[in-house]
Structure 1
Amino acid sequence: MAVKVTTKWLGDMRFESTNPSGHNLFIDAGEDNGGKGEGYRPKALMLSGLAGCSGLDVAALIKKMKLNVADFKIEIEANLTEEHPKHYDKVAMHFHFYGDDLNEKKLQRAVDLSVDKYCGVMEMFRQFSELDIKTHFHNTKVDFFPVQ
């Protein structure tokens, strides 16, 4: 299946990129690199793509497994090499799940399925980065006794 993206130069360091979904996004360099900071940075956009790919997998599995999750987020921190072409050589990806009744075993299974089987962006990152993936569970139920 072919995927087509068209990216048009808007002048200076700014571009507009189309997406097969019909949505557009803007790409721009920071002021320190001749841009105005009016768009996504390409390398950071790759990290958003990684989080989005895995996040979609996990969200679908949460629904399929009928898991009770109040919220979840994915935080990524990546190390950019110093030499050109600069690329991410180490990526730490942290999944955070929040809820009163988290099924940690099934949620970990959902993360593992995304990481090991479903997320194609993850597979691309494996070609050039060392990945460190962790899962965190946050019980949002507050147990306390009021002072009388």
Structure 2
Amino acid sequence: MTNTVKTTWKGDMKFESTNPSGLNLMIDAGPDDGGKGEGYRPKALMLSALAGCSGLDVVSLLKKMRAEVDEFNIDITAELTEEHPKYFKKVHVVYNFYGSDFKKDKIEKSVNLSVDRYCGVMEMFRQFAEVTTEIKYIEN
């Protein structure tokens, strides 16, 4: 399967990128780098892709296992290398589940399946970074 996007320069440091879904997104640098901050930063977009990929897996698996939670979000902290080209060398992914009476075995199975088997973006990150994960339960 081939994925294709087209990214077009819109002036200054701004680009517009197509998406197979038909929804386009803007990419821009911050003011310190000559941009106006009117779009996603490329490296932050990579982290959003990682969270989105794994999050979609987890939600789908939780639904199939009948282990729904009240709320769910993912926090990612990433550390860049010092030298150019700067890339993420360490990435920590925290899965936050909110609710009560958690089905922890099913939640952990869902996260582990995403991390170890289903999330292609996670696998891509593992090619260049040390990736660690953590699950947190927050009682409502």
TM-score after normalising by structure 2? 0.98
For residues 6-42 of structure 1, give each alpha carbon's deviation from its aligned partner in whole angstroms, at most 9, with x where no partner exists. 0000011000000001000000001111101110000
Counterparts of 1:1-148 in structure 2, within 5 Å, are 1-140=1-140
Report the identity percentage. Answer: 61
The structure whose Rg is larger is 1
Given that residues 69 and 101 in structure 1 are in contact (C-alpha distance below 8 angstroms), is that contact kept between their aligned partners in structure 2?
A: no
CA distance in 1, matches of 2:89, 2:100: 36
Structure 1 runs of 4+ off > 2 angstroms?
none
Unpaired stretches in structure 2, ≥5 consecutive residues: none
Unpaired stretches in structure 1, ≥5 consecutive residues: 141-148
Q: How large is the Cα RMSD of the aligned pairs? A: 0.6
Matched residue of 2:58: which SS?
A: helix
Letter in 1 for 2:97: F
CA distance in 2, matches of 1:81, 1:27: 22
Q: Give 1:82 shift.
A: 1.6
CA distance in 2, matches of 1:68, 1:91: 27
For residues 75-105 of structure 1, give each alpha carbon's deviation from its aligned partner in whole angstroms, at most 9, with x where no partner exists. 0000011211100000010000011221011
Q: Give 1:73 shift.
A: 0.5
Q: Give 1:123 shift.
A: 0.3
Q: What is the aligned partner in structure 2 of residue 145 from structure 1? A: none
